[in-house]
Amino acid sequence: MGTWSIRVELEVETGGKRQVRKEDRSPSNTSNPDYDRTSELKAFDDTKAGVKGLVDAGITEVPRVFHQPPYKIQKTSVSGDAHFSIPVIDLEGVKKDPITRKDMVDKVGKASRKWGFFQVINHGIPVSILEEMKDGVRRFYEQDLEVKKQYYTRDYTKPLVYNSNFDLYTGLAVNWRDTFLSLMAPNPPKMEDLPALCRDIMVEYSKQVQNLGNLLLELLSEALGLKPDHLKDMDCGRGLAMLCHYYPACPQPELALGTSKHADNGFVTVLLQDHIGGLQVLHEDKWIDVPPTPGALVINVGDLLQLISNDTFISVEHRVLANSVGPRVSVACFFSTNIMPDSRLYGPIKELLSEENPPKYRETTVRDYVLFSNGRGLDVDGTSPLLHFRL
């Protein structure tokens, strides 16, 4: 086989002191201290039943491969403090009244500079569609295992990919989460390739999210001082990757995470979350709760928008805590063509550059950026993949 190797730096606590331990996790390393871990991961993967399968089997303790270093779950989160809450932007009337629209451009711009995150209400997607989307995701995970297993794969060229933890073998700890995903645009999958229990709503919801995405791209373009169509004309709204997550109830939520700290690698993300909560954003070094708000959608700037805006907008790290009352369901729609081959290059937008604001990044294709970002797994060394593209 090849000669690739995996070296990781683990932060471990011994006698109350945090230390960094280097490990060689290459497959060729016969003294690999994680040999057992690798076979535990493989056994888990082979069940094709995900984390839900463990819970259904009645486990009462979280297996070791899911254990996070304690400092990664620390409880210092802030909620209910107005100074530390994600902005909520009301999009009512955005298409009718130029004064309202100007106000929204300001709010979207401010939120994208300062937080990288905001929620939108009156966004035009009917509540019934949001509810049906969450129900569809639940139906997929809760269906007969033998049917669901047919979709279990790590081959991302498949039209529908269901598995648990895309970075299962490279991440430092497994997340308490299962996921299925599909690239819904620009080339929608064939209807028969989508799961029968949720295909209609996946198609309907992705159309609605694309409309909302186009509106957001207009507001973001204007907030950058560009023509409304600028980001759309750069094809930032062309691809839509839909990730449907399922976070089963966790018997020891203080030991695991639902999703480790990461930033999203597309242009913009539209996230639908249910009523359970657990999503947190890292702001001024504090974890801030993103409270579930009925009917609202969470919007965040992704790495590629930070790159093309030359750091005007920020792609902010976030995570999901494990919960004891789940299942929690969420749907993350990334505006991105993901790993689809596409030669278009993205770099800092020329119109934004000047002598005082020189380009901070080199150009990349979406595919190269996503492959680099996903190749590292979530929160493996604590740094942003954007650094790799910095000039």
Residues lying near Ni ion in the complex (CB under 5 A) are found at: 264
Give me the least distance between CB of 52 and ligand OGA, in Å please: 15
CB of 146 to ligand OGA, least distance (A): 27
* Spatial distance between the Cα atoms of 322 and 325, rounded to a whole number of angstroms: 9
In order, the DSSP letters of 60-96 are: -S--GGGPPPGGGG---EE-S-GGGS--EEE-TTTTT
Tokens of 111: 């939120």
Least gap, CB of 359 to Ni ion (angstroms): 26
245 binds, options ligand OGA, Ni ion, none, Cβ within 5 to 8 A by partner type: ligand OGA
Pull the structure tokens for residue 299: 């919007």
| Residues within the interface to ligand OGA (CB under 6 A) | 243, 245, 259, 264, 271, 273, 279, 318, 320, 330, 332
> Is the Cβ of residue 178 or residue 264 nearer to Ni ion in the bound state?
264
Interatomic CA distance for residues 134 and 128, integer angstroms? 10
Long-range contacts of 168-171 (CB under 8 A, 24+ apart): 168/41, 168/44, 168/45, 169/38, 169/41, 170/6, 170/375, 170/376, 170/377, 170/380, 171/260, 171/377, 171/378, 171/379, 171/380
State the helix-helix crossing angle for 98-114 and 199-223, rounded to 10 degrees. Answer: 90
Q: Are 376 and 248 in contact (CB under 8 A)?
A: no
> Which two tokens mark 30?
């016969």
| Closer CB to ligand OGA, 327 or 348, in the complex | 327
Partner in contact with 338, chosen from Ni ion, ligand OGA, none, beta carbon below 5 to 8 Å by kind? none
Q: Report what 279 binds from ligand OGA, Ni ion, none; CB cut-off 5-8 Å by kind.
A: ligand OGA
Which one of ligand OGA, Ni ion, none interacts with residue 163, CB within 5 to 8 A by kind?
none
Of 231 and 281, nearer to ligand OGA (C-beta) is 281
Q: Are 180 and 244 in contact (CB under 8 A)?
A: yes
How far apart CA 106 and CA 112 sit, in angstroms, is: 10
Spatial CB neighbours of 126, under 8 Å, sequence gap ≥ 6: none
Residue 148 interacts with, from ligand OGA, Ni ion, none (CB under 5-8 Å by kind)? none
Closest approach of ligand OGA to the CB of residue 239, in Å: 15
Identify each DSSP E strand in 175-327 by its residue range. 178-185, 240-247, 257-262, 268-273, 279-283, 286-289, 297-301, 318-321
The token duo for 31 is 């003294």
Provide, rounded to whole angstroms, the least separation between the CB of residue 299 and ligand OGA: 12
Q: How far is the CB of 370 from ligand OGA (least distance, A)?
A: 12
By beta-carbon proximity to ligand OGA, the closer residue of 230 and 245 is 245
Q: Which does 101 bind (CB under 5 to 8 A by kind): Ni ion, ligand OGA, none?
A: none
Binding partner of residue 271 among ligand OGA, Ni ion, none, CB cut-off 5 to 8 Å per kind: ligand OGA
Choose between 111 and 224: whose C-beta lies nearer to ligand OGA. Answer: 111
Sort residue 376 into left (φ over 0), alpha (ψ -120 to 50) or beta.
Answer: alpha
Residue 304 CB, nearest approach to ligand OGA (Å): 14
Nearer to ligand OGA, 21 or 154 (CB): 154
Q: Which residue lies nearer to ligand OGA by CB, 243 or 255? A: 243
Helices (H), the chain: 35-47, 50-56, 98-114, 127-142, 145-149, 199-223, 230-233, 303-308, 366-376
What's the closest the beta carbon of residue 177 comes to ligand OGA, in angstroms? Answer: 8
Nearest distance, CB of residue 328 and ligand OGA, angstroms: 8
Contact 242, 181 (CB under 8 A): yes
Nearer to Ni ion, 264 or 274 (CB): 264
Q: Report how far residue 217's alpha carbon sits from residue 70's, in angstroms, rounded to the nearest whole number.
A: 39
174 binds, among Ni ion, ligand OGA, none (CB under 5 to 8 A by kind): none
Q: Which does 330 bind (CB under 5 to 8 A by kind): Ni ion, ligand OGA, none?
A: ligand OGA
Tell me whether residue 179 or residue 221 sits nearer to ligand OGA (CB atom): 179
